[in-house]
Amino acid sequence: MNLREFNRILEQTLLVPVLLLLALAAILVWQIQSTLTAQRLIDHSDQVSTNARDVERLIIDQETGLRGYQLTGDTLMLAPFKTAEPMIPRKFAMLRDLLADNPSQLAHLAQLNDRYQIWVGFAQSVMASPDELKSNVAVNRRGKDMMDAIRAQSQSLVQAESELRRQRAVNVEKRVRRVLSFTFIGAALAGLLLGLFTRSRLHRVSRAYQSSLNELQQRADDLYETRLRYQTTLESIGDAVIACDAQGGVEFMNEVAQRLTGWNLSEAREMPLDQIFHIVNEETREICENPVEKVLRTNTVIGLANHTVLVARNDVEYVIDDSASPIRDQRGKITGVVLIFRDVTDIKRTEAALIASERHTIAGTLAASIAHEIHNPLDSVANLHHLLASEEDPDKREEFLAMAKQELDRTMQISRAMLSLYREPKAPIRIDISALIDDVLLLLDRRLADQSISVTRELEPELVVEGFPAELRQVFTNLIVNAADAAGRNGRIGIRTSRTLPEESRPAGVMIEVSDSGPGISAKVEKNLFQPFFTTKGELGTGLGLWVSMGIVQKHSGTIRIGNSDCDGFSGAAVCVYLPMRALACAKPRVI
């Protein structure tokens, strides 16, 4: 129910009782009015009766006066007669007015008047007659008869009027009863109607209220459930989660976060984040910027720099990988920061172990061909030594020694190339990429020859980049071995190095392209190429080569792309490695 509806109901509950009671009052007024009218009719009857009695009394007064005069002959006795004489016609006139609406009573009145007039005529004749004739039995009896007739007529008028009055009284009583019962029933009915009406309105309001309440309760339940679900989710995920308010005070930490930091949520709550989340750079040991402050400053999601170490409360250190994101309200204002991190110590260790293992694998791959490369010249040297021991001819000796030196030089070159797979300078050095690739090809020479693979080199001289030579050797050994495996027996490999000009997205550098005549790469394989343990070589591959190569190239701020070759004569895959000239100034960490 909305507010408008509610206001309408309020108006209804105000107006309906008022209107109903007004209607009831109007009917009551009408009823009372008609009762009053009936009451007035009674009064009217009373007036008629009173006047009729008055007339009778006045006539009797006249008769009494006349009788006295008859008996005494004294005119004084006629005083009452004279007094009443002018009053009676007035009374009759009044009665006529009163009874104007009642013809039967008017008839009675007219008759009474007639009889009175007759009697008046008699009275006047009596008064005019001589004294001796004034009173005798006949006259008296005549007078009495007339008077009786008048009385009877008056009586019947009065009786008729009182009958009328009685009827009118009954009518009034009936009306009063009706008013009373109407009042009672009306009140009861109005009460009932109002009650029912109010009840129905209240029911509606109450239902709406109840449904609002239910809705609120439902919302509260939903909210609670959602909150619980999120809480449980946060509690049960494997990553550590810390939520802070906009000032960097800790609001929430899940189990993992509590374990890694060594702080309980109850202790850490409302504490500044940097007190419980103490992070330093793994290598420099410098304190890292508080991620909350960084998020507030940059207003974006941030990832922590690589090599971040979390120093727990008990001084245990964890290598962590983390990100921090702002929490925004509906208007986009930052109301807090959520920090998500995980312990990657084991991952880092495993990664390091995998990288080391891959380096050994590369060395293992090369071992057989290196052994071959070293044993061949060694064999010659041993044979030459044998020959020298019994050779007298100085020219021959000279020749043998020269040959021995040549063979030893070859051994040393191979040995150096092999060792440089392991020896790594502390800092990046300048490397001639084309020379490095020549070295790698020297080590792989035997292996490639065994598979009768021909190598086409287009190496631009003096392509110098900064970097770690052993790692780069590893990358190219890996790429060339892959190309050889893909090309197969009697296959071909093309290696091309070139200078690249600076572009918007990357500085000047070197592009090394290794193409092969193999079957190329399917889209499905391409997707997984850089995933660790992904291999197309079955038992023979570790699935780490490209993964490690990628890491090394990324460490040199370079890129590595694998697609299908568009070079003439190379139908298979082509790997393009870009290395910037000055790599490590802007080195990025590996992207796991």
Partner 1 sequence: VLPATTVLCIDDEAIGLKVRKLVLERAGYHVLTATDGESGIQMFQQEAVDVVLLDFSMPGMNGDEVAVALRAAKPAVPIVLLSAFVSLPERMLTLVDACLTKGEGPESMLHKLRDVLAVYRGGLGHGTSS
Comparison of 271 and 387: residue with beta carbon closer to partner 1:
387
DSSP 6-75: HHHHHHHHHHHHHHHHHHHHHHHHHHHHHHHHHHHHHHHHHHHHHHHHHHHHHHHHHHHHHHHHHHH--G
Q: Which of 162, 171, 325, 406 binds partner 1 (CB under 8 A)?
A: 406
Q: Which of 14, 25, 93, 368 binds partner 1 (CB under 8 A)?
A: 368
Q: What are the tokens at 311?
A: 């120093």
Q: What are the tokens at 159?
A: 């009786």
Q: Which of 328, 386, 423, 561 binds partner 1 (CB under 8 A)?
A: 386
Name the minimum Å distance from CB 406 to partner 1: 7
Any idea what DSSP says for residue 344? Answer: -
Q: Is 413 in the site for partner 1 (CB under 8 A)?
A: no
Q: Which of 326, 377, 494, 558 binds partner 1 (CB under 8 A)?
A: 377
CA separation for the pair 190, 22 (Å, rounded)? 11
Q: Which of 32, 127, 208, 374 binds partner 1 (CB under 8 A)?
A: 374
Q: What are the tokens at 237?
A: 């995920």
Q: Which of 357, 376, 420, 564 binds partner 1 (CB under 8 A)?
A: 376
- Give Cα 258 to chain centroid, integer Å: 31
Helix, coil or strand: residue 319:
strand
Comparison of 14 and 449: residue with beta carbon closer to partner 1:
449
Q: Is 363 in the site for partner 1 (CB under 8 A)?
A: no
Q: Is 372 in the site for partner 1 (CB under 8 A)?
A: yes
Q: What is the SS3 string spanning 354-368?
A: HHHHHHHHHHHHHHH
Name the minimum Å distance from CB 314 to partner 1: 51
First-to-last alpha carbon distance for the chain, in angstroms, is 57
At what angle are helices 433-450 and 394-419 packed, to 10 degrees?
Answer: 110
Name the minimum Å distance from CB 400 to partner 1: 8
| Strand bridging mode 559-564 / 573-580 | antiparallel
Q: Is 378 in the site for partner 1 (CB under 8 A)?
A: yes
Name the minimum Å distance from CB 408 to partner 1: 11
Comparison of 158 and 404: residue with beta carbon closer to partner 1:
404
In sequence order, the 6+-apart residues with CB closer than 8 A to the CB of 577 are: 475, 476, 479, 511, 512, 513, 514, 553, 558, 559, 560
Q: Is 592 in the site for partner 1 (CB under 8 A)?
A: no
Comparison of 399 and 526: residue with beta carbon closer to partner 1:
399
Comparison of 325 and 383: residue with beta carbon closer to partner 1:
383
Size of the site for partner 1 (CB under 8 A): 25
Q: Which residue(s) pair with 574 in the sheet?
A: 515, 563
Comparison of 319 and 370: residue with beta carbon closer to partner 1:
370
Any idea what DSSP says for residue 502? Answer: -
Q: Is 408 in the site for partner 1 (CB under 8 A)?
A: no
Helix (H) or strand (E) run with residue 408 in it: helix 394-419
Q: Is 388 in the site for partner 1 (CB under 8 A)?
A: no
CA 150-151-152 angle, 5° bins: 90
CA separation for the pair 83, 448 (Å, rounded)? 173
Name the minimum Å distance from CB 404 to partner 1: 9
Name the minimum Å distance from CB 384 to partner 1: 5
Comparison of 53 and 410: residue with beta carbon closer to partner 1:
410
Helix, coil or strand: residue 312:
coil
Comparison of 163 and 379: residue with beta carbon closer to partner 1:
379
Name the minimum Å distance from CB 419 to partner 1: 19
DSSP 370-387: HHHHHHHHHHHHHHHHHH
The arrangement of strands across the sheet holding 492-500 comes to 454-458, 492-500, 509-516, 573-580, 559-564
CA separation for the pair 308, 278 (Å, rounded)? 10
Q: Cβ distance 265 to 252 under 8 Å?
A: yes
Q: Is 384 in the site for partner 1 (CB under 8 A)?
A: yes
Stretch that binds partner 1, among 159-167, 287-295, 364-372, 491-499 (CB under 8 A): 364-372
Q: What are the tokens at 551?
A: 């890491």
CA separation for the pair 94, 91 (Å, rounded)? 5
**Binding pattern for the stretch 419-458 against partner 1, x by CB under 8 A and - elsewhere:** ---------------------------x--xx-x------
* Sign, CA torsion 264/269/271/273: positive
Name the minimum Å distance from CB 387 to partner 1: 6
Comparison of 311 and 374: residue with beta carbon closer to partner 1:
374
Percentages of the chain per state (helix, strand, coil), in multiples of 5: 65, 15, 20
Helix, coil or strand: residue 309:
strand
Comparison of 369 and 515: residue with beta carbon closer to partner 1:
369
Name the minimum Å distance from CB 370 to partner 1: 10
Name the minimum Å distance from CB 373 to partner 1: 8
Comparison of 323 and 380: residue with beta carbon closer to partner 1:
380
Q: Is 387 in the site for partner 1 (CB under 8 A)?
A: yes
Q: Is 148 in the site for partner 1 (CB under 8 A)?
A: no
Q: Is 379 in the site for partner 1 (CB under 8 A)?
A: yes
Q: What are the tokens at 6?
A: 């509610």
Name the minimum Å distance from CB 451 to partner 1: 9
Name the minimum Å distance from CB 259 to partner 1: 49
Stretch that binds partner 1, among 148-156, 184-192, 384-392, 571-579 (CB under 8 A): 384-392
Q: What are the tokens at 462?
A: 């003096």
Comparison of 404 and 529: residue with beta carbon closer to partner 1:
404
Contact residues toward partner 1 (CB under 8 A) are: 368, 371-380, 382-384, 386-387, 390, 400, 403, 406-407, 446, 449-450, 452
